[in-house]
Amino acid sequence: MVVVLALASALAYGLSDFAGGLLSKKASPWAVAVVAQATAMVLTFLVAIGWWRDPMAADWAWGAVSGIGGGAGAAFLYRGLGAGSMSVVAPVSAVGAALLPAAVAAATGERPSALTWVGVGCALPAIWLVSWVSDGPDVPRRARAAELTDGLLAGLGFGLLFTALGQVPESAGLGPLGMSYGVAVLVTLVLAVLVGAEWVPRDRVLVRAPVIGVLGTAATAFFLLATQAGLLTVAAVLSSLYPASTVLLAAVVLHERIGRAQGVGLVLALLAVTLVAAG
């Protein structure tokens, strides 16, 4: 079940990032992040009220910590996708999102099988390869550095999000996830003010941003359920395959050609899923 839930999370994250990246090229990425996360907060709390459990103080705290990572991760990801290259920003963020929780899980005593570790080893290069797109002309060094910075910051943020949510038990319900999105909105606002970015939703195109919030809610909820059904290592690594769904969506919807490197990455991703499921 953890494999199914984690892959559902990856699919939803991929759809969310695809839509968010396109929208961030037309409007302020910080405003996109604020509207999307505010939508997710409201939606999550509405669902949580109808499915209320008994979260402890520690569960709320982990939800808040995850929101710090989620808010920073989404803001820097959308900024990177809006201004930079998908081939750099997405894989850097995804690898970071996979490595941090996997390292924490291993350090705290999680012991996946040898077959699962082989699958994880296949997944990490797969994450990078499925996002590889030829840049064509040389990219200026300053622009490349900005892309790498946004990807790294987004990956650290999502890694913190995944790690913290992995500590929330099933008995807590979805309340802590609502807390996560509430804190994420505040973090995004603070970061936007610090970097002097425009965050107030003014553009008409931002009426589409709530759709990104709905997809993000589904993605994070699936991830939370995956961590409660199995190992954090497995959930984090498989959920971080989200660039694969973005690439496949671009091929189907935008008729973009899947390159050789992306094809190899998709094959490795399928192998990784098979090995993790078998392990």
Contact by Cβ (8 Å): 246, 14: yes
Contact by Cβ (8 Å): 276, 230: no
Structural domain including 199 reads 2-278
pLDDT exceeds cutoff 80 at 82: no
The pLDDT value recorded for residue 256 is: 63
Number of domains in the chain: 1
Instruction: Supply 219's token pair.
Output: 């993605």
Render pLDDT for 205-246 as a digit per residue (tens, 0 to 9): 788 889 999 999 999 999 999 998 888 888 888 888 887 776
Task: Give me the mean pLDDT over the 18-23 stretch.
Answer: 82
Quote the percentage of the chain above a pLDDT of 90.
Answer: 29
Nearest to 163 by CA among 224, 213, 114: 224
Intra-chain end-to-end CA distance of the chain, in Å: 13
The pLDDT value recorded for residue 143 is: 61
What is the spatial distance between Cα 21 and Cα 138, in angstroms, rounded to a whole number? 22
Contact by Cβ (8 Å): 259, 132: yes
Residues 6+ apart with CB under 8 A from 124: 95, 98, 99, 237
Contact by Cβ (8 Å): 78, 29: yes
Q: Look-up: residue for tokens 């710090």?
A: 68
Looking at per-residue pLDDT, the higher value among 147 and 99 belongs to 99
Render pLDDT for 145-179 as a digit per residue (tens, 0 to 9): 777 788 889 889 999 999 999 999 988 988 999 99
